[in-house]
A and B are shown apart, each in its own frame.
Chain A
Amino acid sequence: MSTVTPDPLAPAPIDRQGIRLGDVLFKGIAFVAAVGVAAVLGLLTYEVFSLAWPAIQEFGLSFIWTQGWNPNSNVYGALVFIYGTIVTSFIALLLATPLSIAIALFLTEIAPGRVAAPIATMVELLAAIPSVVLGLWGILVFGPWVANHLEPWLQSWFGFLPIFSGDPSQAGILPAALVLTIMIIPITSAICRELFSRVPRDLSDGSLALGSTRWEAIRRVAIPYAAPGISAAVLLGLGRAFGEAIAVTQVIGSGNTINESLFPPGDTLGSRIASSYIGASTAIEAQSLLYLAAILLVISLITNVSAQAIVNRFQKARRMSTG
């Protein structure tokens, strides 16, 4: 028995059998896609900054905290738009978050299946309304309603607050924020619904078996379980609100000043870029608009990165300990 005869019962050889084409192709495509996306992002950022460069050199960083925008007298500053962007988005989130959670809880916990499904579809269809159409509705229907009913009502109850002072107006920060709210709700409520439907049944059963009411089970078990996801949903909504331009342009009124009241017109970064870039009469005006674009880009990137960070931290905390 000195010669080695292949034993038919021996396991198949485990040597490398040549390349596995599927794996190699898959890896290659995935790699190219990942690098491609990163490259587009990098290139785009570079382009925006280099096109805006003359304005950045001309006005420096003080552009960011300068108020006013007047191409005739060559005054350019971003503060009004940064303020408008942050305030409209913040109000939109403040309203959309609890509403989305309520919608999601209603659909997952309260409404029976045959009621929940059509309502969920309708809420999601809100996202299908083109923003320019929503903006038209804002101009024709919603803006007048806000000016004639909502703002006078707010003023009569909360008029002592500076944010509800002054004359009601059809176009302004408040209607813009409300239109943004309508635009965010489909996204955030859909994510929240998904999150609540994933809360393990045995956890809510455990809570109910201890004698909790359904609301207590939701508040003490389901919401904490979904919390990291909800914060991610909120930040995604924020990303959408920051970037939205068209519908906002239609209802915000292109104001050039910061007012303590939410009623008068204002403007956001995205809206000002969308409304003025085509009509820009001088090179420096176009470059200043690109400077606005660069600021918007940076703010959006920061939001997204912090969204990631928050989600990661929550996940780590959930895995590790310290409830």
Chain B
Amino acid sequence: MSMTTPRIDSGKLGELAATPDGRGAETVFAVSDLTVSYSGNVALKGVDLAIQKNFVTAFIGPSGCGKSTFIRCFNRMNDLVPGARVDGEVLYHGRDLYGANVDPVEVRRRIGMVFQKPNPFPKSIYDNIAFGPRILGMKQDIDERVERTLKHAALWDEVKDRLKENALGLSGGQQQRLCIARALAVEPDVILMDEPASALDPISTSRIEDLIHELKNEYTIVIVTHNMQQAARVADKTAFFSVELREDGSGRHGILVEYDQTTKVFTNPTDKRTEDYVTGRFG
């Protein structure tokens, strides 16, 4: 795909990025020159990237390169870390996510998150799913919503007879799918997943991946993963992050090295560092 035209029609850019089934035509997040630091130490520097609607976007890279730090910028979870500071711009459907009038609570209602370690509440399966809707005041038809959500997350058949049982009694993989379902219950726009399968066995992992495939028609998904095959299997686009030593020797920070279609990143990367990483010569 050669893009030699000097004048780029920005209206066409989206179409270029879109897949034949029409996903990816719109931009959900546009990040420019994003730098995150913890208590003055830069952890991630100068990231520019856009995330397309209904795409699965994967972040890969060695440990400590700032993948979690980055994904937490999209739902303002970094606000909860004392000393964390985010500079640069994150536009969400064109609106500055870090603007003065933006309420992080409202942001998190639209942008759900699934964590590395399954973290169901020590409540019943039903109450876990109903948690978000209750907070958001979606009080009607909770029963129906719980059922619909669990079916959506392909968990219904396994739990329909034990909705009143404690969620901690589920297996790790079921717990993680419950956490995905919990995030779906409030009908978010985007789902962020930070290594959602890293604590799970291969079968549970493949069920999560199937689920991601199911969900991408309705949601925009951003996933951090250590597992390159996983990124290759689920993601439309992949961003490779790496660690860069600072020139003045004051430490290291994460940078975005390459961001492209997943097939391109894995088969024909532009950057030598990406190539080393995806071929296993690094980390």
Among A202, A211, A225, A320, max chain B CB count under 10 A is at: A211
Which of B120, B122, B186 has the largest number of chain A CB atoms within 10 A?
Answer: B122
A209 at the interface (CB under 8 A from B): yes
Nearest opposing residue in chain B for A221, CB measure: B121
Q: A323 at interface (Cβ–Cβ under 8 A)? A: yes
Q: Could you give, for residues 60-93 of chain B, a 1 whenever the CB lies within 8 Å of some chain A CB and a 0 otherwise?
A: 0000000000000001010010100000000000
The closest CB in chain A to the CB of B80 belongs to: A208
Inside 8 A of A224's CB, which chain B residues have their CB? 122-123
Report chain B residues within 8 Å CB of A207.
121, 131
A213-B105, A321-B165 given; A208·B112 CB < 8 A? no
B residues less than 8 Å from A220 (CB atoms) = 131, 135
B124 touching A321 by the CB < 8 A rule? yes
Note all chain A residues with C-beta closer than 8 A to B169. 321
A46 → B minimal CB distance (Å): 44
- In the complex, the answer to whether B108 meets A209 with C-beta atoms within 8 Å is yes
- Residue among A221, A225, A321 with most chain B CB within 10 A: A321
- The reply to whether A212 and B127 contact each other, CB–CB distance below 8 Å, is no
The answer to whether B122 and A210 touch across the interface, beta carbons within 8 angstroms, is: no
Instruction: Tell me the minimal C-beta distance from B124 to chain A in angstroms.
Output: 4
Is B132 part of the binding interface, using a Cβ–Cβ cutoff of 8 Å?
yes
Interface presence of B167 (CB below 8 A): yes
Choose one: A200, A208, A216, A323; the contact of B123 (CB below 8 Å).
A323
Taking the complex as formed, is B270 at the interface, i.e. its CB lies under 8 A from any CB of chain A?
no
Cα A202 to Cα B122 in complex, Å, equals: 12
Contact B108 A208 (CB under 8 A): yes
Contacting residue for A205 out of B77, B109, B182, CB 8 A: B77
Q: How far is the CA of A78 from the CA of B167 in the complex (A)?
A: 50
What is the count of residue pairs linking A and B with beta-carbon distances less than 8 angstroms?
79
The verdict on A203 contacting chain B, using a C-beta distance below 8 Å, is yes
In the complex with contacts A211-B136, A321-B169, A323-B166, A206-B115 CB distance below 8 A: yes
Q: Given known contacts A211-B135, A225-B122, is B109 in contact with A202 (CB within 8 Å)?
A: no
Shortest B115–chain A CB gap in Å is 6
Min CB distance B138 to A, Å, is: 11
Least CB distance from A177 to B in Å reads 35
Given contacts A202-B117, A205-B115, A216-B135, contact A211 B166 (CB under 8 A): no
* B227 shortest CB reach to chain A, Å: 21
B119 at the binding interface (Cβ < 8 Å): yes
Give the complex CA separation of A112 and B82 in angstroms.
9
Q: How many residues of A contact B (CB 8 A)?
A: 23
Contact flag A206-B121 (CB < 8 Å), given A211-B105, A211-B186, A220-B135? yes
Chain A, 35-77, CB within 8 A of any chain B CB: none
A205, B106: Cβ atoms under 8 Å?
Answer: no
Q: Taking the complex as formed, is A322 at the interface, i.e. its CB lies under 8 A from any CB of chain B?
A: yes
User: Are A211 and B119 within 8 A (Cβ)?
Assistant: no
Residues of A within 8 A of B136 (CB): 211
- When each residue 138-180 of chain B gets 1 if its CB lies under 8 Å from chain A and 0 otherwise, what string results? 0000000000000000000000000011110100000000010
User: A318 at the A/B interface (Cβ < 8 Å)?
Assistant: yes
Task: List chain A residues, Cβ under 8 A from B186.
Answer: 210-211
- Asked whether A205 lies within 8 Å of B119 as measured between CB atoms, the reply is yes
* Alpha-carbon separation in the docked complex, A206 to B165 (Å): 20
Chain A residues within an 8 Å CB radius of B122: 203, 224-225, 318, 323
Taking a contact as CB atoms under 8 Å apart, the answer to whether A323 and B119 are in contact is no
Most chain B Cβ neighbours within 10 Å, of A112, A203, A207, A208: A208
| Whole-angstrom CA separation of A209 from B115 in the bound complex | 10
Asked whether A322 lies within 8 Å of B109 as measured between CB atoms, the reply is no
Question: Which residues of the other chain, A, contact B121 by a CB distance below 8 angstroms?
Answer: 203, 206-207, 221, 323
Contact between B105 and A212 (Cβ–Cβ < 8 Å)?
yes
Say yes or no for B58: interface residue by CB 8 A criterion. no
By a CB distance below 8 angstroms, the chain A residues around B183 are: 209-210
Nearest-neighbour CB distance to chain A for B72, whole angstroms, equals 10
B243 touches A (CB below 8 Å): no
User: Which residue of A is nearest B188, CB measured?
Assistant: A211
Q: Complex: how many Å from CA A220 to CA B136? A: 13
The reply on B222 being an interface residue by CB < 8 A is no
- Report how far A225 CA is from B121 CA in the complex, Å: 9
Residue of B nearest to A211 (CB): B109
Q: Is the CB of B75 within 8 A of A209?
A: yes
Determine which residue in A112, A210, A220, A221 has the highest number of CB atoms from chain B within 10 A of its CB, and name it.
A210
B164's partner among A203, A211, A322 (CB-CB below 8 A) is A322
In this assembly, does B113 line the interface, its C-beta being within 8 Å of a C-beta of chain A? Answer: yes
Closest to B124 in A: A323
Chain B residues whose CB sits within 8 angstroms of the CB of A225 once the complex forms: 122
- Listed by A's residue number, 26 A-B pairs whose Cβ atoms lie within 8 Å are A112-B82, A202-B119, A203-B121, A205-B115, A205-B119, A206-B179, A207-B121, A208-B80, A209-B77, A209-B113, A209-B115, A210-B109, A211-B106, A211-B108, A211-B109, A212-B105, A318-B166, A320-B166, A321-B124, A321-B164, A321-B165, A322-B166, A323-B122, A323-B123, A323-B166, A323-B167
Q: Which 3 A-B pairs have the closest CB atoms?
A: A211-B109, A323-B123, A323-B124
| Chain B residues proximal to chain A, CB less than 8 Å | 75, 77, 80, 82, 105-106, 108-110, 112-113, 115, 117, 119-124, 127, 131-132, 135-136, 164-167, 169, 179, 182-183, 186
